[in-house]
Amino acid sequence: GNGLVHRRMFLMAGTAAAASIASAALPNPAAADALQVEPWMKLPGSGFVGYGQPSKYEDKVVRTWNTAPGTIGTGTSRTPHHLLDGMITPNGLHFERHHSGIPDINPDTHRLLIHGLVKRPLIFTLETLARYPMESRIAFIECGGNGQLLYQKEPAQVGVQQIHGQVSCAEWTGVKLAVLLQEAGVDPKAKWILAEGADAAGMSRSIPMEKVMDDALVALYQNGEHVRPANGYPMRLLLPGYEGNMNVKWLRRIKATESPTMTKDETSKYTITLPDGKSLQFVLPQEGKSVITRPSPGLTMKEPGLYEISGLAWSGYGKINKVEVSADGGKSWAAAALQQPVLPKALTRFRMAWQWNGGPAVLQSRAIDDTGYVQPTREQMIAKRGTRTIFHSNAITTWSISDKGEVKHVYA
Ligand SMILES: Nc1nc2c(c(=O)[nH]1)N[C@H]1C(S)=C(S)[C@@H](COP(=O)(O)O)O[C@H]1N2
Ligand SMILES: [Mo]
């Protein structure tokens, strides 16, 4: 409905549909004569640099943040998803969430201690750790508070960066925590671990042993380079699909325990307060979710014609199976094309061709994962959870398009 084009259109070269994409380029009968010899073709370009930076013309592609007055680096910075494409977040644009700023850790003196219910407590240096077999996996990290603006009564007049910018996706490389715990001789009585960071917040969380043994990684590298200081240098815990908060950065201590430790961040925070005042604790995976990143607020549509609707989908339960897009506020839905690779617990890029007729439209996307979980509407989410919590907000986000092409956040 309302101009959505079947996803197989992308595969049909030479059809009328493909021809109408070409009309989005500037029509020019004397195409070859239109190319100028530009100034940068008349002189050699600049030389080499040690560490490359994006083009100076891309200086608007930045994280944004608001920190409370009197705090330094405490708060969150957000990824500009409306200005990116693909599934990987560049390291310099990975969102950041610090409870007490970024510690300046000397990698030579940093230690990782494994103790508690183990036969042999062990201390690792960065060097000894790097001698264990490493593996890589692409995974998203999403703050449990991402999307919390959707719990508000009125739709916040902001865009995808401010609403959903606390999710990013990278290739993480490191040593499986299961290997290190086996090395320490973990006691079968240990059903949880405590993970603690080396920042001034000493942030710590309890993690079920099942998850630890399944896919927890002590990550040393992020998209091929050492983990950035903001993201946990020299090592962080990666728990694919679990609440961002549990992915403890600047990891310095793992303690095997019989039961959860009940740390500050799993009692006073990162719990879901229900309408009746009771709280859900240890709601650990981030549920299935998606958002249209283009078009989205701040990206104004130009003339009517063929456009691509594009966005991101992810689920802490597994792989994205399907993303459906609506251009009429949820009255009709069509399946979007999923861009390969589609990986479990990683951001998945979806695309949908759309013939915009220049009239009003209401865009939505809905993710369905391989466990059958369907992303809820905002109404469904609030019916289940109420509005006393700020966590695990995964409802469908709605963008309205006006006949002037302006994109606005609305509630359906
Ligand atoms: N040691 C420590 N680990 C931490 C935090 C912190 O403040 N200190 N913040 C947590 C929170 S709330 C989130 S959402 C993620 C954010 O990871 P990122 O900053 O790499 O995006 O790290 C988690 N790990
Ligand atoms: Mo978080």
| Phi-psi map region of 408: left, alpha, beta (phi>0 left; psi -120 to 50 alpha) | beta
Whether residue 203 is predicted with pLDDT greater than 80 in this model: the reply is yes
pTM: 0.95
Q: What pLDDT does residue 16 have?
A: 53
> Beta strands 135-142 and 167-176: pairing type?
antiparallel
Which residues are paired to 290 by β-bridges? 313
Q: What is the mean pLDDT of residues 218-225?
A: 98
- Spacing, Cα 375 to ligand 2 middle (Å): 21
pLDDT digits (tens, 9 = 90+) for 227-286: 999 999 999 999 999 999 999 999 999 999 999 999 999 998 999 999 999 999 999 999
Position of tokens 């005042």?
277
Phi and psi (nearest 5°) for 40?
A: -75, 0
**Phi, psi at residue 37, to the nearest 5°?**
-85, 105
CA distance 99 to 141: 16
- At 62-100, the pLDDT tens digits run 999 988 787 877 899 999 999 999 999 999 999 999 999
Nearest alpha carbon, ligand 1 atom 6? 98
pLDDT tens for 109-157 read 999 999 999 999 999 999 999 999 999 999 999 999 999 999 999 999 9
* Cβ–Cβ < 8 Å for 100, 201: yes
Identity of the residue numbered 79: T
The secondary structure of residue 201, as a DSSP letter, is T
- Residue 155 confidence (pLDDT): 98
Ligand 1 atom closest to Cα of 196?
A: 1
In ligand 1, the atom with minimum distance to the C-alpha of 99 is 7
Mean pLDDT of all residues belonging to the chain:
94
Pocket of ligand 1 (CB under 6 A): 94-99, 141, 143, 197, 199, 201, 203, 230-231, 244-245, 247-250
Does residue 106 carry a pLDDT above 70?
Answer: yes
- What pLDDT is recorded for position 26? 60
Amino acid code (one letter) for 314: W
145 CA from centroid of ligand 2 (Å): 6
**CB–CB of 234/103 below 8 Å?**
no
> What local confidence, expressed as pLDDT, does residue 34 receive?
78
> Which percentage of the chain shows pLDDT scores above 90?
90
Which is the closest atom of ligand 1 to the Cα of 98?
Answer: 7
Q: What is the mean pLDDT of the segment spanning 43-64?
A: 97
CA of 248 to the centre of ligand 1 (A): 6
Q: Which numbered atom of ligand 1 lies nearest the CA of 231?
A: 20
Find the 67 Cα to ligand 2 centroid distance in Å: 14
- The span from the CA of 337 to the CA of 166, in Å, is 24
Identify the pLDDT of residue 119: 98
Residue listed under structure tokens 């996996």 = 137
State CA 99 to chain mean position distance: 19
Are 17 and 353 a contacting pair, CB within 8 Å?
A: yes
Residues 354-363: tens digit of each pLDDT: 999 999 999 9
Which residue, chain included where needed, has tokens 């009517």? 304
**Cα–Cα dist 397/411, whole Å:** 8
Q: Averaged over 42-64, what is the pLDDT? A: 97
User: Is the model's pLDDT at 12 over the cut of 80?
Assistant: no
- Cβ 371 vs Cβ 267: under 8 Å: no
